[in-house]
Structure 1
């Protein structure tokens, strides 16, 4: 058992990993059961099945109906939910400290004993199809799926987490049960708990039921997709054009990731960032503009989202290209570097004031690194970044060879192609 920074880790004999971080000042605790499986691990014809299973886990167990589950969590003022990403599935509950034992029993029952009924599958299928249509009708959401498809192509990372309509329409009860049996195995499960908790107590509450899980087959190595330069345009009558533009990024464990966090903060993460100031504040060309890093186990991209009028698209693209070129040519100032570092540290530390954020951080570190990264270690890594590190990374990543763009709205495709070719030439100089 490892212990540091109020962090403790226990691995059960069958491989289930339990990590906790205790803080007696918290009135709450958040408990998460994570599976190292997401949409990236699905074959094309099963795309969307991980998310479908997430929905089905709340439809009742051998001893609780769906209504019982909802009533019980509401009766203690708790929050019970789940989410699926491209690389993980997570089921979690947040409760007051006095209800921890009850929460563990409820969450364990849902995770281990859910009953998948054919009639419920049909009902939930309609809910998920509505969810897919809702995303497709929300351009500032849908553009991110469209950009992932553009950037990663027909790889598993390029397919939507929710799945495609034709796949979701085809799943049957047996598909879901088989997938759970294959993927929800002890060697892929991490239990992450943060808040006013006692590690030994948590382990002993989970051990009886989770130690019975089988290890299953070894994890299959994921294919690492490669990205070329692509353009995707969806012409749709909208008030605005929504687009994502991006280049190669970094993986979750890339040693350059702290340089990338700084670069992203400077370019588009926040109101003082260069892109926000140039596009919105100085020129009023967009209401919403931000940049972000999308990082995975072994790859990633850096992207910019903008929503703007069709008449502004060319101007916005040109100004973005100029800002990217500037950050490649000149080292950032000491003041800008210091400000970006303080922003990163502040965001991280403020996030740690909630037990759910701590729970997610614990799980992320265990999944990515197999160990705990303390706040002090993370701050030290941020402080080590120099201006020249950011400059070097900008020149490595912000190139025309991996420049991709996806757009939704009333768009002239020929004009966009010309503008992107101009951007490539500028970034490759």
Structure 2
């Protein structure tokens, strides 16, 4: 496990950080994380980070879109990307002997993405359809509206942007933003593989030009506070979809490990408090998912429920009671031990995948702690300390509610 053998950090000659974890299996994974996501954007550029992510593998002067994909497909590898509120990730996973191919292909795009007009218009259509899908999909629609309500301003905007901004982006706009954001010192690279770090470093430094003068971009912390808010949306649907939650701690908080335990107690598996009480015991919801989204500059916790419209109020009251119980009553030794083992066990299973190790190495580095420190904190937290964090972070009444229901 990554927690048992520390991630090693290297400062590359081009100014970027490289995080390395040795993996004894026959797999090499690389994740290149750019310090730029939807929360960095101004309103008129909403969706730029996500649009750039879509364009990243769309072609260079040397390689077409299909040639880029074919290079990785031909060795049975994986190539993809995703955008969050605070970063963009581009990643490749291959058998270890193809590490050079993975690195050179990824950085060919990093250095030389052309934003060809034909490819740009293709991706624009795809993204506009994706934006429509948020509205068409009740789950995504409810969650999107909840984040807007819970985190006003730039952190609450949809990562995809909106129809108007996505429709207006020119090649020049996107290429300009790409060049302002995609440079080595604004990038963290994580690799996992069986070879020594020096071998990977040499290949990466061959592929990425030096640019050490520019400083990384900065993002201010989200200032959202718990405030009671409610939004009801009526649509031509049959079931009701509900989100209940509040602005929460960030991943950079000293209480992040403790809140991870709170998340596990409330929503970690079928036996957790909210899932058991709402779904398993009372049958008030056919889909029940409590979760924390946290990055270094923002965080929120929500419980998503999909249910029959006439069960909404009962389900809502059960969730609120569980929040109140956790604020006021001490967690038993048995339940705390179960939550700790749940976190340790799920993370161990995730880390069977080399790519997840790379992604999590970046998450920890951006958040300012190591996985050794995280698991040490998890093991040391007692019921008294957990209760203190619950009282400090879970509101008494200042919850955000979004309900999507039938007309």
Cα deviation, 1:302-354, whole Å, max 9, x if unaligned, reads 21110011100111111112222222221011111111111011011111111
Is 1:337 aligned to residue 332 of structure 2? Answer: no
Give the superposition deviation at 1:95: 0.2
Give the superposition deviation at 1:213: 3.2
Give the superposition deviation at 1:168: 0.4
Match in the other structure for 1:196: 194
Whole-angstrom CA distance in 2 between matches of 1:40 and 1:300: 12
Are the aligned partners of 1:33 and 1:189 in contact in 2 as well (CA < 8 Å)?
yes
Whole-angstrom CA distance in 2 between matches of 1:385 and 1:58: 44
Which of 384, 388, 392 is 2:388 aligned to?
A: 392
Whole-angstrom CA distance in 1 between matches of 2:213 and 2:52: 20
Match in the other structure for 2:173: 175
Match in the other structure for 1:123: 122
Are the aligned partners of 2:144 and 2:158 in contact in 1 as well (CA < 8 Å)?
yes
Is 1:279 aligned to residue 278 of structure 2? Answer: yes
Is 1:19 aligned to residue 13 of structure 2? Answer: no
Match in the other structure for 1:49: 48
Q: How does 1:386-425 map to 2 (within 5 A)?
A: 386-400=382-396, 402-410=398-406
Q: SS at the partner of 1:18? A: strand
Once structures 1 and 2 are overlaid, which stretch shifts more, 402-411 or 133-142? 402-411
Are the aligned partners of 2:26 and 2:95 in contact in 1 as well (CA < 8 Å)?
yes
Match in the other structure for 1:289: 288
Gaps of 5+ in 1: 412-429
Give the superposition deviation at 1:253: 1.6
Whole-angstrom CA distance in 2 between matches of 1:344 and 1:223: 27
CA separation of 1:249/1:223 partners in 2, compared to 1, >3 Å: closer, same or farther?
A: closer
Match in the other structure for 1:166: 164
Match in the other structure for 1:355: 354
Is 1:225 aligned to residue 223 of structure 2? Answer: yes
Are the aligned partners of 1:121 and 1:173 in contact in 2 as well (CA < 8 Å)?
yes
CA separation of 1:249/1:140 partners in 2, compared to 1, >3 Å: closer, same or farther?
A: same
Cα deviation, 1:71-120, whole Å, max 9, x if unaligned, reads 22111101000000000101100000111111111111111111111222
Are the aligned partners of 2:30 and 2:92 in contact in 1 as well (CA < 8 Å)?
yes
Give the RMSD, CA atoms, in angstroms.
Answer: 1.7
Whole-angstrom CA distance in 2 between matches of 1:11 and 1:163: 34
Once structures 1 and 2 are overlaid, which stretch shifts more, 327-336 or 390-399? 390-399
Whole-angstrom CA distance in 1 between matches of 2:280 and 2:397: 30
Whole-angstrom CA distance in 1 between matches of 2:173 and 2:355: 32
Gaps of 5+ in 2: none
Q: SS at the partner of 1:169? A: helix
Match in the other structure for 2:8: 8
Whole-angstrom CA distance in 2 between matches of 1:175 and 1:99: 35
Are the aligned partners of 1:16 and 1:211 in contact in 2 as well (CA < 8 Å)?
no
Number of residue pairs aligned between Structure 1 and Structure 2: 403
Are the aligned partners of 2:242 and 2:306 in contact in 1 as well (CA < 8 Å)?
yes
Match in the other structure for 1:32: 31
Once structures 1 and 2 are overlaid, which stretch shifts more, 386-395 or 165-174? 386-395
Which of 370, 379, 384 is 1:383 aligned to?
A: 379
Whole-angstrom CA distance in 1 between matches of 2:370 and 2:382: 25
Once structures 1 and 2 are overlaid, which stretch shifts more, 83-92 or 327-336? 327-336
TM-score w.r.t. the length of structure 1 is 0.90
Is 1:325 aligned to residue 350 of structure 2? Answer: no
Q: SS at the partner of 1:346? A: helix
Match in the other structure for 1:243: 242
Give the superposition deviation at 1:229: 2.3
Give the superposition deviation at 1:390: 2.0
Q: SS at the partner of 2:115? A: coil
